[in-house]
Chain A
């Protein structure tokens, strides 16, 4: 699905990612953990095509194609989805409009006709129920005036409707109370499939109690310093990040 090789990235001439290697196969869930400032969001942004980052070396291959060459919207249409750490408010554009525009451009990209209006509404309402959201959120401007938790839920709603192949979730758990965390996790788990992969970026282990990763990687100072199975997350929870950070320092 995704193969990252020796990826180095600069921001304003400062090296932030210092040679990332990561292999993600279809159906796998990878957790990327690390202290604040270790480069987790940078990696998520670079994979989804945000501007302001300079790739100075290495590669990222997605389904056999050079991911880093594609415009952000092409990546999205090809199935890469970023659930933002800080979802952006878009006043004046309704949630449901954006969902429909996004879904239709994915369909167009794959040579399919536009979604039928009734089918779309049925699909959207089903996912709204799954995430225990109020339908009125659909008609509100994208993320405008949403609470932190509502924004995160809205990201997962979009993900559930667009059915991406590679889901990158940047700190989806932050800002969620325990009930919301359960609901969001159920939403994510319902999307698990042998064709879909997840990269879950998180600072804490608690999300991983609900969504069990196949692999855990520890990112520190722009490098993956340790990889392991789900048990690595527990170890980190217990010992903190200092022991892995010290390993590179």
Chain B
């Protein structure tokens, strides 16, 4: 059959299909072909879909980003990489969607813990992967997930066995090189009962301006490359287990980024997510969490938009069983013509009595042309619950500016101080020192620093 497809990408699929991992796994081949079919029929999500109404990704169809088949032609400077690798973490590096053993640092992992590339996991423990892949992310949700399932080339596979507490974080470092590239990765993080793990997802571009800023070189704006990242992460937090996931998105200024994180929490499980959306021309994050009995989740987010960036954050918290707790705080700082989107849904099912949920979104607009769209949604089907939500969109508070001026601080510095203080509340929630400092450095690169001293941050 050869029906018309909604996307140019479908025609390109055959160029890569034969080199995707898991060729010998019938279950995966079935999954991939179903996904391809779904994607072909729908194309990328359209603003006509309610959950994409603020975000138009048609730019991806105008370009034609291509996946890379392997790593043979890619050059990554080891010194450059040092600036992004956390020194106190195990680091798994993906370049254009492929695991690089050479660039990764995985020595000293406890034997019982599995940390490997997804392609390797599909070869070495396909039965375990089969149990989880596609069980966290629902393909019918939207076609980016289907796209990811069909196209993924590699990713991260983490399995922490019961009761094991990882004392160092695992960093997943996504690097994209060159223009018109496409990196599609699928990650699975499993923490069995009572296990504890911290995972840090970092997205960078080798050729970004912003990368150059941090490493001290002065790249011209024009060098920033356009590419597509589409990463899907499925997280399974076992009974009483504790997982913290950090996402530091610092893609190039012209990049398209889709990152979805889909979490299943068992009874009494705890999950914390920190979402730093700094890069990309158009970046969309999905974080969906399913909460079982008495489990807890905390979702934190900070999006900093400048120039013409469009940063969309979409969260969904499903309270499925009684006594679960959810806390959410997203903050946005938007300058120039940037646009920030927050769509936060909390769904409390009939069965989820004694739910305790708080959702907040606060936006700071630094220019008249900046825009924030915020849409919190509460859907409550149980009667004995405590749910609160609040949103604000505003400018810096004039009273605060005057107070600082009356304490000798000039107006410009006062504005910078207040902007940083606003953003820094989210940075301060990062308790891993090396990561905290990297996040802070990136916040500082993005806004005028004059008069702002790191000492008070």
Interface residues of A (CB under 8 A from B): 48-51, 71-73, 76-77, 81-82, 84, 87-88, 90-94, 97-98, 101-102, 105-106, 109, 141, 158, 162
Q: Which of B376-428 contact A (CB under 8 A)?
A: 397-400, 402-411, 417-418, 420-422, 424-425
**B421 x A72 contact (CB < 8 A):** no
B interface: dominant SS: helix
Max chain B CB contacts within 10 Å: which of A48, A88, A90, A98? Answer: A90
Tell me, yes or no, whether B107 is within 8 Å of chain A by CB: no
Tell me, yes or no, whether B15 is within 8 Å of chain A by CB: no
**B417 x A84 contact (CB < 8 A):** no
**B403 x A87 contact (CB < 8 A):** yes
Given A87-B403, A94-B456, 14 other A-B contacts at CB below 8 A?
A71-B410, A72-B402, A73-B408, A76-B408, A91-B422, A92-B421, A92-B422, A98-B404, A101-B409, A101-B453, A102-B408, A102-B409, A105-B409, A106-B408
Given the known A-B contacts A92-B421, A92-B424, A93-B417, are A50 and B402 also in contact in the complex, defined by CB atoms under 8 Å? yes
Tell me, yes or no, whether B79 is within 8 Å of chain A by CB: no
Cβ distance A147 to chain B, nearest Cβ, rounded Å: 18
Which residue of A has the minimal Cβ distance to B407? A102
Tell me, yes or no, whether B368 is within 8 Å of chain A by CB: no
**A97 x B406 contact (CB < 8 A):** no
Of all A-B residue pairs in the complex, the 9 with the closest CB atoms, nearest first, are A92-B421, A97-B456, A72-B405, A88-B403, A105-B408, A102-B408, A76-B408, A102-B407, A73-B405
Q: Which of B335-362 contact A (CB under 8 A)?
A: none
Given the known A-B contacts A90-B400, A92-B422, A92-B425, are A97 and B408 also in contact in the complex, defined by CB atoms under 8 Å? no
Q: Which of A51, A81, A87, A91 contacts B421 (CB 8 A)?
A: A91
> For B400, what are the chain A residues with a Cβ–Cβ distance below 8 Å?
88, 90
**B455 x A97 contact (CB < 8 A):** yes
Which residue of B has the minimal Cβ distance to A103? B408
Question: A-facing mask of B24-68, CB < 8 A → 1, else 0?
Answer: 000000000000000000000000000000000000000000000
Which residue of B has the minimal Cβ distance to A109? B408
> For A87, what are the chain B residues with a Cβ–Cβ distance below 8 Å?
403
Q: How far is the CA of A141 from the CA of B456 in the complex (A)?
A: 10
Q: Which of B403, B410, B424, B453 contacts A90 (CB 8 A)?
A: B403
Q: How far is the CA of A109 from the CA of B453 in the complex (A)?
A: 19
**A49 x B403 contact (CB < 8 A):** no
Interface residues of B (CB under 8 A from A): 397-400, 402-411, 417-418, 420-422, 424-425, 453, 455-456
> For A162, what are the chain B residues with a Cβ–Cβ distance below 8 Å?
407-408
> For A97, what are the chain B residues with a Cβ–Cβ distance below 8 Å?
453, 455-456
Q: Which of B399, B402, B407, B424 contacts A98 (CB 8 A)?
A: B407
Cβ distance B415 to chain A, nearest Cβ, rounded Å: 12
Q: Which of A90, A91, A106 contacts B404 (CB 8 A)?
A: A90
Q: How far is the CA of A51 from the CA of B406 in the complex (A)?
A: 12
**B402 x A90 contact (CB < 8 A):** no
Q: How far is the CA of A172 from the CA of B269 in the complex (A)?
A: 50
**B408 x A93 contact (CB < 8 A):** no
> For B422, what are the chain A residues with a Cβ–Cβ distance below 8 Å?
91-92
> For B421, what are the chain A residues with a Cβ–Cβ distance below 8 Å?
90-93, 141
> For A91, what are the chain B residues with a Cβ–Cβ distance below 8 Å?
421-422, 425
Given the known A-B contacts A90-B418, A92-B422, are A49 and B405 also in contact in the complex, defined by CB atoms under 8 Å? yes
**A92 x B420 contact (CB < 8 A):** yes
Q: How far is the CA of A189 from the CA of B418 in the complex (A)?
A: 34
Cβ distance B443 to chain A, nearest Cβ, rounded Å: 12
> For B453, what are the chain A residues with a Cβ–Cβ distance below 8 Å?
97, 101
> For B418, what are the chain A residues with a Cβ–Cβ distance below 8 Å?
90, 92-93
Given the known A-B contacts A92-B421, A93-B417, A93-B421, are A77 and B408 also in contact in the complex, defined by CB atoms under 8 Å? yes
> For B406, what are the chain A residues with a Cβ–Cβ distance below 8 Å?
48-50, 72-73, 76, 81-82, 84
